Amino acid sequence: MLYHTDKIKRARLQGYAFLAAFTLCIPAANWMILHVGVTCVPNGPCLIPVAPEMMAPSGVIMIGLALVLRDLVQRRLGIIWAVAAIFGGALLSAFLAPPSLVVASGVAFLLSELADCAVYTPLQRKRLVLAVFASGIVGLVIDSALFLYLAFGSLEFLLPQIIGKSWMILLSLPVIAWLRARDERLGLQPA
């Protein structure tokens, strides 16, 4: 019984670590979009390459990662924690964003993460890797379109944003598969 209790404690601690990382992605994305890139558009985003001859705002890295981390928060801590993290993240995103990006950042984050949650929840117990992939793709398309339109009034970087965020989701899938296998080996169930 003690071993089972220790496993649950470790899983919860891991969930809190995922929650902290998820929360840190938000200010990191907002900071990166205005400060990190190979080139910065005047009064616009700083850009990074995401594919040959395609540039995207640098925040795509952190937002792609946030979509995966939200799923992991839900897996370890449960749906209530995940929804609370979404609302907290949207507030944090709006609060920490530069004034020109407050609405775009908050709205895009809130709606994309809620969509991610809606897709992830029914799939995650039986098909974790598929759930992370499918929910991430839905979330990143919504986030990309809303953020670009609300922040810059243009969808010029939509395809590069989708590609950049997709890279982060694809790179996470082997880790998700490992985590699922480890959970099964240890007898850990999703929250």
3-state secondary structure of 190: coil
Residue 2 has pLDDT above 60, yes or no: no
pTM as predicted: 0.88
Q: Which tens digits make up the pLDDT trace of 77-125?
A: 999 999 898 888 878 877 777 777 778 888 888 899 899 999 999 999 8
Q: Which tens digits make up the pLDDT trace of 3-41?
A: 667 777 888 899 999 999 998 888 888 888 889 999 998
Q: Residue ranges per domain, the chain?
A: 2-186
Structure tokens at 127: 């098909």
Burial annotation 5-35 (CB, 10 A radius, 16+ → b, else e) = eeeeeebeebbeebbebbbebbebbbbbbbe
